[in-house]
């Protein structure tokens, strides 16, 4: 894991965090820890999300990083950025296959991750790039 925490602009107005993971199941709890630290930085800036925000953000990050671990070779990158009334969660990986959104099925065991993410977030989009793809999820603060 290579942390790159800190503001992305010279004036420090952007609250963001970015971490590179090399792989392995340890990156999932480490990603949740990044969310906890990011939420603490939001509080330091006077941003007061809903009480449910931290748990929701940790769940979304867990699901997206787990998908990257399971379905893409190589490293992945987690970025969290305060954007307006929410947080953009971006998980980049080296896989070229887009996530598969399965229809709701309460009887199915497992494979509900993206269903959970889409219910918690305002928007979920995937964009390809030269070395794989990035899944972006916008989680409201309230």
- Of 47, 49, 97, 43, the residue nearest 70 (C-alpha): 97
Each residue's pLDDT expressed in tens, for the chain with a length of 142 residues? 444 444 444 445 689 999 999 989 999 999 999 999 999 999 999 999 999 999 999 999 999 999 999 999 889 999 999 999 999 999 999 998 898 877 778 888 887 889 899 999 999 999 999 999 999 999 999 9
Return d(Cα 13, Cα 10) in angstroms, integer: 8
What pTM value is reported for the model? 0.88
Compute, in degrees rounded to 10, the torsion defined by CA atoms 98, 103, 107, 113: 40
Return d(Cα 64, Cα 21) in angstroms, integer: 13
């Amino acid at each position: 894991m290579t942390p790159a925490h800190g503001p992305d602009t010279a004036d420090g107005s952007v609250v963001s965090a970015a971490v590179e993971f090399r792989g392995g199941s340890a990156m999932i709890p480490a990603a949740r820890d990044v969310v906890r630290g990011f939420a603490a930085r939001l509080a330091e800036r006077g941003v007061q999300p809903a009480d449910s925000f931290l748990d929701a953000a940790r769940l979304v990050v867990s699901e997206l990083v787990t998908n990257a671990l399971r379905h893409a070779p190589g490293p992945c990158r987690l970025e969290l950025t305060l954007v307006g009334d929410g947080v953009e969660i971006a998980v980049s990986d080296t896989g070229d296959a887009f996530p598969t959104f399965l229809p709701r099925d309460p009887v199915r065991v497992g494979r509900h991750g993206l269903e959970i993410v889409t219910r918690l977030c305002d928007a979920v989009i995937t964009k390809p790039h030269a070395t794989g793809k990035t899944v972006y999820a916008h989680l409201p603060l309230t």
